[in-house]
Structure 1
Amino acid sequence: MLLLTSAQAQVLPPRGLSAAQLAIVVNDDEPNSVEIGEYYRKARAIPAANIVHVQIPHSPRKLDADEFEALKTKIDARLSPEIQAVLMLWTAPYAVECNSITSAYTLGLDSALCAKPCGPSKPSAYYNSPSTHPYTDLKMRLSMLLPTDNVENAKALIDRGVTSGFSAPQASAYFLQTSDIARSSRARFFPRSMVLPQQRLSIKTLQADSIEQVSDIMVYQTGLSSVPKLNTLKFLPGALADHLTSFGGDLLGSSQMSSLRWLEAGATASYGTVTEPCNHWQKFPNSTVLLSQYLRGASAIEAYWKSVAWPAQGVFIGEPLAAPYRH
């Protein structure tokens, strides 16, 4: 178990990602994407030059390499060098071959991984990096999906992200080492329980399969194929939540709990793998890195991307600019 030190918790916040550095990609073939794209543009004051329109007929869950390359080429052609991150406004496609669409876009497609999906994948140079300009520094444009399958839910998600920037409320971060030993492989990185008065945050590291009737969640990380009692919980604006399991990123699949359930329950961003990764901790968010980066003022997209060492199979979803600790 690692300790989140006072030095980590009290480092002055970096400037972090701004709306001017974010491009949004709208699928003109999906009415929900168009409507939510306009809502997000206004909510975050995204510059008009940062809006990219593409056509993805029928919204397939998975793209092949050629389809993806054509899509990426069209997106990249519209982006200026100042753009550091991209938000894709759709639920599907969320995979490219055995990779997630967000990792394929940011790191490049790792087709070799498909022969051995349980093996190591391409490491991320952005892992636990101090960089606040990933494209400028590392030639990596971060990417995230904002799901659009439900317009009302998507707008509520955007509103939570925007609200998170106004204050950091009294909150708790929950890290659960469950009875599922295989899915608790990252428990060694859970910070110990403590109170961080300056951030008004209590860290609660527990041996339990669930929490219930809790109303102060800023972070919730656990390891189960399906997380119970989500309907009893209240997530604060900007909350990050994910579960270590094989197919959380198969957003529209049914074999395990989709990461979409976290957003529906009130979280603002999440992460899950789209194909069988085995339980390498490097393929999932490192809890200490995620929390320390978020507390330093990183946005949700920055903190989540910085927390995953091998993100090839993982899809990042949510509202990217949420940053409750920036100020």
Structure 2
Amino acid sequence: MIRFYLFVILTTCLCAQAPAGESPYYSKAGGQASQGLQPENVAVVINDDDAHSIEVGEYYRNARNIPSKNVVHVRIPNSPHNIPVAEFNSLKQQIEAHLDKNVQAIVMVWTAPYAVECNSITSAMTLGFDAAQCRKTCAPGKPSPYFNSNSAHPYTDFGIRISMLLPTDSVMQAKSLINRGKLSGFSVPPASAYFLVTSDASRNSRAPFFPKSASLPQFKLDIKTIKANSIEGESDIMFYLTGLSVVPGLDTLHFLPGALADHLTSSGGDLLGQGQMSSLRWLEAGATASYGTVSEPCNYPQKFPNAMVLLKHYLSGESAIEAYWKSVAWPSQGVFIGEPLASPYHSSQRTGFDGMELRQK
């Protein structure tokens, strides 16, 4: 009964994005869409009270050729993990005052702050602070207008700028992350997408929506949906989605440039917390982007990336920030981290891959 209930909730949310009678993974473009995010569409926000943020922010601006006019300098003393909403609103206003209408996305170059009360800082920056979610964090979330959309310009189409944190705890690791993101745009090697159905029933709420195993030769990608608590020794990882509080074996894996990876658990987005595994561990292991929640979300699958939607948009050539944001229906508690412009499948030129061959079992 629980699985059926979750299925009804999620498919209703998905189908709301598609024309009547169409697959929920239908692309309204019907053909080649625009190129999507370009460096001139990205703003880089640097915390001048954080030496790592300054160094990594400049490195990222140069690596991605971000226009200097798109760089915003702010001051956040002491880099708190969580900031109150009044302080955040002042920060958001300061950032937005520097942005023109061409800026569609924001990358905040720091590890902390990553939360605004019960919201993530990326969701609050993009959608505004959701006070209702904090009254009951286990309640359903507010739907994102960007979820599973075909928009290539979120600010133009919805009045929102999608955002991501580029963590800077280690300058060396941050630069390596940036390099992986940039390298992802050169070529796509044969790869695999791993979707793990684990023994942790409470953290498997999105498993019913994993794609079935399949081969996609046009993308040189094998979909591997398996019953296991972990994988070890794999060297071809482009996607890795699972459900556990702590994921073992990360040190045995090799992630390809542009890889996306996350685990469904309550506090993966508490990046510097001492509880469950932080989403930072994915980036340290070699992934290029990840996601986790900063407050107790309960296990609504809509609060976590949907594998089918994530595959659809990434394989259609969209960037990591676009594909990840479009895959989460209720993102208020979730923080997006990584290198936003990674796009290993950009040569597919956003042709509207609809995922029909990946229908669930």
- 1:301 maps to which of 317, 321, 333: 321
SS of match in other structure, 2:332: coil
- Deviation per CA, 1:233-265: give whole Å up to 9, x if none: 000000000000000000000110000000000
The CA distance in 2 between the partners of 1:175 and 1:84, in whole Å, is 30
Match of 2:203 in 1: 183
Match of 1:23 in 2: 43
Match of 1:204 in 2: 224
The alpha-carbon deviation at position 66 of structure 1 amounts to: 0.7
Establish whether residue 265 from structure 1 lines up as the match of residue 268 from structure 2.
no
Residue identity matched to 2:108: M
Change in Cα spacing, 1:205 to 1:67, as seen in structure 2 (3 Å) is same
Assess if the C-alpha contact under 8 Å between 2:44 and 2:106 holds in 1.
yes
**Alignment TM-score, normalising by the size of structure 2:** 0.88
- 1:195 maps to which of 203, 211, 215: 215
Assess if the C-alpha contact under 8 Å between 2:25 and 2:309 holds in 1.
no
The CA distance in 2 between the partners of 1:130 and 1:86, in whole Å, is 19
Establish whether residue 39 from structure 1 lines up as the match of residue 39 from structure 2.
no
SS of match in other structure, 1:43: helix
The alpha-carbon deviation at position 12 of structure 1 amounts to: 4.7
- 2:248 maps to which of 228, 242, 254: 228
Query: Structure 1 stretches of 5 or more lacking a match?
Result: none
Residue identity (%): 65
Assess if the C-alpha contact under 8 Å between 2:25 and 2:312 holds in 1.
no
The alpha-carbon deviation at position 112 of structure 1 amounts to: 1.7
The CA distance in 2 between the partners of 1:310 and 1:210, in whole Å, is 27
The CA distance in 1 between the partners of 2:31 and 2:45, in whole Å, is 33
The CA distance in 2 between the partners of 1:6 and 1:59, in whole Å, is 40
**Alignment TM-score, normalising by the size of structure 1:** 0.97
Establish whether residue 245 from structure 1 lines up as the match of residue 270 from structure 2.
no
Match of 1:155 in 2: 175
Match of 1:142 in 2: 162
The CA distance in 2 between the partners of 1:126 and 1:198, in whole Å, is 27
Change in Cα spacing, 1:170 to 1:152, as seen in structure 2 (3 Å) is same
What is the RMSD computed on CA atoms of the aligned residues? 1.7
- Deviation per CA, 1:133-154: give whole Å up to 9, x if none: 0000000100000000100000
Query: Structure 2 stretches of 5 or more lacking a match?
Result: 1-6, 12-22, 348-361
- Deviation per CA, 1:106-140: give whole Å up to 9, x if none: 01101121111000111100000000000000001
The CA distance in 2 between the partners of 1:313 and 1:140, in whole Å, is 17
The alpha-carbon deviation at position 15 of structure 1 amounts to: 1.3
Match of 1:75 in 2: 95
Match of 1:48 in 2: 68
- Deviation per CA, 1:33-89: give whole Å up to 9, x if none: 000011001100000100000000000000101100110010000000010000000
Assess if the C-alpha contact under 8 Å between 2:320 and 2:340 holds in 1.
yes
Establish whether residue 127 from structure 1 lines up as the match of residue 153 from structure 2.
no
Establish whether residue 319 from structure 1 lines up as the match of residue 319 from structure 2.
no
SS of match in other structure, 1:277: coil
Change in Cα spacing, 1:79 to 1:152, as seen in structure 2 (3 Å) is same
Structure showing greater relative contact order (alpha-carbon pairs closer than 8 Å, 6 or more residues apart): 1
The alpha-carbon deviation at position 7 of structure 1 amounts to: 8.4
The alpha-carbon deviation at position 183 of structure 1 amounts to: 0.4
The alpha-carbon deviation at position 14 of structure 1 amounts to: 4.6
Change in Cα spacing, 1:217 to 1:14, as seen in structure 2 (3 Å) is farther
The CA distance in 2 between the partners of 1:158 and 1:74, in whole Å, is 26
Assess if the C-alpha contact under 8 Å between 1:13 and 1:298 holds in 2.
no
Residue identity matched to 1:47: P
Higher mean Cα deviation, 151-160 or 184-193?
184-193
Establish whether residue 276 from structure 1 lines up as the match of residue 301 from structure 2.
no
Match of 1:109 in 2: 129
4+ aligned runs moved over 4 Å, structure 1: 4-8, 10-14
Match of 1:58 in 2: 78
The CA distance in 1 between the partners of 2:71 and 2:151, in whole Å, is 24
